Chains A and B, each alone.
Chain A
Amino acid sequence: MNAKTPSKLEKIMAAGHFGVTSECGPPRGSDPDVIRKKGELLKGYVDAVNVTDNQTSVVRTSSLAACIHLKLIGLEPVLQMVTRDRNRIALQSDILGAASFDIHNMLCLSGDHQSFGDNPQGQNVHDLDSMQLIQTVRKMRDEGKFLGGDEIKRPPKMFVGAAENPFADPFEIRAIRLGKKVEAGAEFIQTQCIYNLDKFEEWVRQARDRGLTEKVFIMAGITPLKSVGMAKYMKNRVPGMDVPDDVVKRMADTPKEKQAEEGVKICIETIQRLKECKGVSGFHIMAIEWEEKVPDIVKEAGLYPRPQVD
Chain B
Amino acid sequence: MIVADRKPIEEIIEQVKDCKKVLVLGCNECVTVCEAGGKKEVGVLASALRMYYANKGVDNRVDEITLERQCDHEYLEEIREKADQYDAIISIACGVGVQFTAEKYHAIPVFPGVNTCFLGVTEKRGLWTERCQACGQCILAYTGGICPVSRCAKRLLNGPCGGSSKGKCEISKDTDCAWQLIIDRLKAINRMDLYEKLFSIKDWSKDRAGGPRKVIREDVMI
Contacts and interface: CB of A to CB of B under 8 A. Distances in A.
Interface of A: 83-84, 88, 110-113, 115, 124, 126-132, 135-136, 147, 163-165, 168-170, 173, 176-177, 179-180, 183-184, 192, 239-240
B162 A113 contact: no
B200 interface: yes
Interface in B157-172: 157-167, 170-171
Q: For the side of the interface on B, what is the size category?
A: 20 to 34
25 contacts: A83-B154, A110-B154, A111-B154, A113-B154, A113-B163, A113-B171, A115-B153, A126-B155, A128-B201, A130-B161, A132-B199, A132-B201, A135-B201, A136-B201, A147-B201, A168-B160, A169-B166, A169-B167, A169-B180, A170-B160, A179-B196, A180-B158, A183-B198, A240-B163, A240-B170
A103 B74 CA distance: 62
B183 interface: yes
A110 B161 contact: yes
B71 to A, nearest CB: 27
A132 B195 contact: no
B201 A84 contact: no
Given A164-B162, A168-B162, A110 B196 contact: no
A239 B170 contact: yes
B156 interface: yes
Interface string B131-164: 0000000000000000000000111111111111
Contacts, number: 91
B204 interface: yes
A112 B170 CA distance: 8
A197 B76 CA distance: 66
Contacts of B195: 173, 176
B158 A126 contact: no
Given A131-B198, A132-B157, A176-B195, A240 B162 contact: yes
Given A168-B164, A169-B166, A240-B164, A180 B196 contact: yes
A147 B177 CA distance: 30
A164 B158 CA distance: 13
A108 B164 CA distance: 18
A170 B180 contact: yes
Given A129-B158, A163-B162, A239-B165, A113 B170 contact: yes
